[in-house]
Amino acid sequence: MDKRSAEEAVEAVVDAETRAWDEQDAERLVALFHQDMVWPWPPTADAHDPAEWVWGMGRFDAERWRGMWQRFFDAHELVHNRRRTVRVSVAPDGKGAFAVVDVDTLWRPHDGGEDQHWLGRACKIYTLVDGSWKLIAHTGLLSYPPGRKVQPLPLPDPALQDERVRLRPWTDADVEPANRATQDPLIHRFTGVPASPTLEQTRAFFDAQPALREGGAELTLAIADATDDGFLGTISLLRFDWDARRAEIGYWIAPWARRRGAATAAVRLLSRWALSELGLVRLALHTHTDNVASQRVAERAGFTREGTLRAFDARGEHPRDIVVFSLLPGDGG
């Protein structure tokens, strides 16, 4: 199996696990494990030190595990189950792999007891047995980076608006135009959006937003036309470092809505709000050195050009240089 197909196969196993939780299917869950799996876990999302770990499930035992989950499913209602695969990595020999998955699963007991919130990042470790990937180890759910306070990001209230654009949460109606817009190779080239995304990928991005916002990781808003609410693009606050009180801003505009000041207006509105309402001391804006349009947006929105970070973006075939801009609370413009 080549590396790409192996990664896809591991991702499919992660998705199969997500569906098994969605459908509360204890039988299908049990089928995902290696028979030698041993499962200790951190008692809280802050327990990064394994010296604090406790015994949860013990060693795999299909009958015992199936029974535990069945009793759990009978006693709880699934409120939501949001899972996002952050990374899949296959070992050079092609026989081992791990997947990093952000989990946000909320269970509500039927008897009115306390909710159970599974929230954090897991490393799921797989081994290839007779052509199928089996889960053999798991770190449990931990918050990353360690010590990060999970602090839900508020939505701007009232909504941010000027005479040109309005920033608002996504709606279902945005999925189709957002998917059409992101077929533009420039968006893929200059942002983290995948090339030619399918409608399902766009929807998955959209579905992941509430969990990212509640987990304090990302706030993404739709940029809509101030007059007719038509979808123009998206803007995000991301890469928060709460200890250093800084974050980054990123955006794209649909090809049909460009060069009308939408990006500049959206960046002005959200950046000022982030600095005043979230208590940040610095907001960074990264653009590729050949992204002249985005550099103009940064300047027009009052950001200061600080310099070039060499080989900072290693996502493509070759590492690319980044021009970094920043806005501080005292900056005018």
Give the footprint of ligand COA on this chain (CB under 6 A).
186-187, 190-191, 250-253, 258-264, 287, 291-294, 296-297, 300
What is d(CA 282, CA 297) in angstroms, rounded to the nearest whole number?
A: 18
Q: Which of 166, 282, 293, 296 is nearest to 233 (CA)?
A: 166
Closest contact distance (angstroms) between CB of 265 and ligand COA is 7
DSSP letters spanning 174-230: GHHHHHHHTTSHHHHHHSSPPSS--HHHHHHHHHHHHHHHHTTS-EEEEEEETTT--
Least distance in angstroms from the C-beta of 315 to ligand COA: 13
> Which residue's CB is nearer to ligand COA, number 152 or number 185?
185
What's the start-to-end Cα distance of the chain, in Å? 55
- CB-side exposure of 126: number of CA atoms within 13 Å? 28
In angstroms, give the least distance from the CB of 327 to ligand COA: 14
Q: What share of the chain is helix, strand, coil (3-state, %, to 5)?
A: 30, 35, 35
- The smaller minimum CB distance to ligand COA, of residues 181 and 275, is found at 181
Q: Which is nearer to ligand COA, 9 or 253 (CB)?
A: 253
Q: For ligand COA, give the closer residue by CB, 94 or 316.
A: 316
d(CA 99, CA 77): 27
CA distances from 146 to 55, 110, 256 (A): 21, 33, 42
Token pair, residue 229, equals: 């609410």
Q: What is the closest distance, in whole angstroms, from the C-beta atom of residue 200 to ligand COA in the complex? A: 22
Amino acid at 120: G
Q: Which is nearer to ligand COA, 65 or 190 (CB)?
A: 190
Q: What is the smallest separation between the CB atom of 323 and ligand COA, expressed in angstroms? A: 9
Minimum distance from CB of 251 to ligand COA (Å)?
A: 5
In the bound state with ligand COA, the residue whose beta carbon lies nearer, of 66 and 189, is 189
